[in-house]
Amino acid sequence: MSLKIYIDGKLVDREQAKVSVFDHCLLYGDGVFEGIRAYGGVIFREDEHVRRLYDSARAVMIEIPMTPGEFKKAMHDTMAANNLSDAYIRAVVTRGVGDLGLDPRKCPRPTVIVIAASIELYPDEFYKKGLDVITAGTRRIMSDALSPRVKSCNYLNNIMAKIEGIRAGCIEAVMLNARGEVAECTGDNIFILAGGVLKTPPPEAGILLGITRGAVIEIAREIGIGVQETVLTRHDLYVADECFLTGTAAEVIGVVSIDGRIIGDGKPGPTTGKLLKKFRELTRKG
């Protein structure tokens, strides 16, 4: 059965799921998106994801042509059309079809797309052995140039850092902000454990406030682990007792080396394992 894609109120076969070459998301990266997980037919933190999508759209002055409730229904309908209970959902809202100029007024109606597909996770071996990562030379875009809270369809900044990681034989790379502080990875948030306390960069470091990041912070505090949102440097990463990443696809995954420095004993740490276990219990109830 061909994958069904939701576009502007209709579910169409993947082969027919097309947008105009004049859509400003294609021409200029002018759009916003969310990556969302569903477990057992339940969309994880659905309200938070939809709120963030609408906040991103509002921040860049895109008016989504449907209510949040209608958007949620579109996601559930797309999952049902593809007979999926466990899924990765990509919700995209573009500026819409315009002309070859930048003027957003030439785009009368945004394009709404929902894709629901089988999730592709990191291979199990990475959860057992952990990831090797590097620090990318590509810096995060300054927050006063573009708010990191806008989940924009223009990911070139992250892609360039990703290429650096791939060329170094890694599947992730740490990105620093303009001040040289740790921000996040190309697609994940980052945490370290130091002295029994979890530490992660604060919003003002120029990070996307990840939904999984927030869930892990809640879990850690519930089980008695202190959490600090604080400025981190590469040195803090190098001397950490544990390090892990969080993200929609990654969930919680350990990091065992950074720029060639071994973290802890070179294996995913016990706190990382405990948080992954608790996160999976949370998302796979019943």
pLDDT tens for residues 185-217?
999 999 999 999 999 999 999 999 999 999 999
Of the candidates 151, 162, 199, 278, the residue annotated as catalytic is: 151
Show me where the domains of the chain are located. 4-117, 124-283
Predicted confidence at residue 212, as pLDDT, reads 97
Predicted confidence at residue 194, as pLDDT, reads 98
Q: Tell me the C-alpha distance between 78 and 4, whole Å.
A: 7
The single-letter code of the amino acid at 47 is: D
Q: Tell me the C-alpha distance between 166 and 30, whole Å.
A: 26
| Fold of the domain spanning 4-117 | D-amino Acid Aminotransferase; Chain A, domain 1 (3.30.470)
Rg (alpha carbons) of the chain, rounded to whole number: 19
Predicted confidence at residue 1, as pLDDT, reads 73
The single-letter code of the amino acid at 109 is: R
Predicted confidence at residue 122, as pLDDT, reads 83
Class of CATH domain 124-283: alpha beta
Predicted confidence at residue 119, as pLDDT, reads 79
Q: Tell me the C-alpha distance between 238 and 247, whole Å.
A: 21
Predicted TM-score of the model (pTM): 0.95
Helical packing angle, 46-59 and 68-81, nearest 10°: 120
Q: Tell me the C-alpha distance between 219 and 278, whole Å.
A: 7
Ranges in the chain, pLDDT < 70: 286
Is 278 known to be catalytic? Answer: no
